[in-house]
Amino acid sequence: MIDRLRSGVAAGALAGLAYGLFTWVVVSPLIHHLEHLASHGGDHAHDAAPAVSETATAVVSAGGGVLWGVLLGAAFGVAYHLFEPALPGGTLKPYVLAGAGFLTVSVAPWTVLPPATPGMEPLYGSSLRVPLYLGLVGIGGLVAATSVLGYARASRTRGRGTGAFVALLPLVALGILSIAAPPTLTGGAAPAGVSAAFRWLVGFSQAGLWALIAVAFSRFDRRVGRPDANSPTPTARGID
Amino acid sequence: MSTNTDTVADRFAAAGAQIDPLTALTALALAAALGFTLLFLQEPLAHDALHDFRHGAGIICH
C-alpha cells in the first residue's frame, strides 16, 4: 500500500512536472492571447481587476499543474493498490485505471460543464457549479466502474467482443447526457473554431497527464518489485 | 499482475489491518488542514494566480 502510494506520488510528480511545463510554455501564453482577443470585443470580467500580474499567474499556474499531477498520482497509487484485483488487462492495468480516472475526474464533469474558452462567461454562479461538478465526478466514477466491471464480467463469460460492447454502454449513456445537458456557458467572443481547438487542447493535455502517470507508475511499480506486495510481512523493508 | 488470488475486498481488509487508525486519522487531519489553509488563500490572490491552470485543466471555474 505505502509502496504503491509512493510510486503514485513519484509518477504524479514526474507527470505533473511535464504538465506544469506544458502549462507554462503553451497554455498560459495561449490563454493570455485569447483573452486579449476577447477583451477587444468588449466587456470581459477579467479586465476589471486582475489582482495578480500575468507573470505571477503563469508561474503559480505552472506550479499548480505540478501539484495537480501529485494529487492525481497519489490518488492513482492508492486506487491502484485497492482495485488492482478487479482490473482487467494484465500488464495494461495501470492504463485501464488511468482511463477510468480521466473519465471520472475530467470527462464526466465536462459533459455538463465543458472547459471554458477564455472570453466565455459561465451562466450560473459557483454555488451551483461546484456541487454540480462534484456530483458529476461521482457519476463519472460510477460510469467508469460499471464499464470496467461490465467488461471484465462479460468478457469472462461471453468473449471479448461482448465485453467491449457491454463496456461501451455506460460511455454511450454519458455521451447522451452531454448532448441532453443544457448549455452552461455563454458569450464567446472567440470564434467557434478557436473554442473547439482550445477544448481539444484541454482534453488532450488532461488525457496526456493521466497517460504519463500510468506509464511512470508502471515503471516504478515494476522497479519496486512485487514479491512482498501482499506478503504477510509487509514491513520487510522496514518502512510502512 | 502480481497475485491474482486476492480480491478487492481482501485489499481493503489488508489496508485496514496494516494502517492503524491513528495514523490514518493524522494523515486525514493533515490533508484537511492543508486544504483549509488553501481555501483561505484562495481569496483572492491564489485564486487569481491559478487562473491559467483552471482554464488549462478545464476545471469548473472560469
pLDDT in tens, B11-43: 888 888 888 888 888 888 888 888 877 777 666
CB contact under 8 A, B19 and A90: no
Instruction: Detail the DSSP E strand segments found in chain B.
Output: none
Ramachandran sector of residue A119 (left: φ over 0; alpha: ψ -120 to 50; beta: rest): left
Task: List chain A residues with pLDDT less than 50.
Answer: 42, 44-45, 47-48, 228-240
Q: Does B43 touch chain A (CB under 8 A)?
A: no
Q: Which one-letter amino acid corresponds to residue B7?
A: T
pLDDT of B42 reads 62
**Count of other CB atoms within 10 angstroms of residue A210:** 25
Point out the residue among B1, B53, B61 whose CB comes nearest to the CB of A93.
B1
B28 within a domain of the structure (yes/no): yes
Task: Give per-residue burial for A60-86: e unless 16+ CB within 10 Å, then b.
Answer: bbbbbbbbbbbebbbbbbbbbbbbbbe
Question: Do B12 and A82 make contact, defined as CB atoms within 8 angstroms?
Answer: yes
Does ipTM surpass 0.95 in this model?
no
How far apart (Å, rounded) are the C-alpha atoms in residues A39 and A8?
A: 41
Chain B closest-CA separation from residue A57 CA (Å): 4
Peptide bond into B44 cis (omega under 30): yes
Nearest residue on chain A to B10, alpha-carbon basis = A82
pLDDT number for residue A237:
42
| Domain contains B1 | no
pLDDT of A238: 39
Domain-by-domain residue ranges, chain A? Answer: 2-43+54-224
Please check whether residue B51 lies inside any domain of the structure: yes
Question: With an 8 Å Cβ cutoff, are B51 and A122 in contact?
Answer: no
Compute the distance between CA of residue A214 and CA of residue A212 in angstroms, rounded to an integer.
5
Confidence of residue B48 (pLDDT cuts 50, 70, 90): confident
B36 falls within a domain: yes
Residue A233, pLDDT score: 41
Contacts of A107 in chain B (CB under 8 A): none
Q: State residue B8 phi and psi, 5-degree precision.
A: -60, -40
Does residue B4 lie in a domain region? no
In this complex, the residue of A51, A65, A130 whose CB is nearest that of residue B53 is A65
Give pLDDT, residue A225: 63
Inside any domain, residue B52: yes
Evaluate whether residue B38 is within a structural domain: yes
Residue B39: give the domain boundaries.
Answer: 20-62
Radius of gyration of chain A (CA): 20
CA distances from B32 to A202, B27, B36, B38 (A): 29, 9, 6, 10
Q: Would the CB atoms of B1 and A86 count as touching at under 8 Å?
A: no
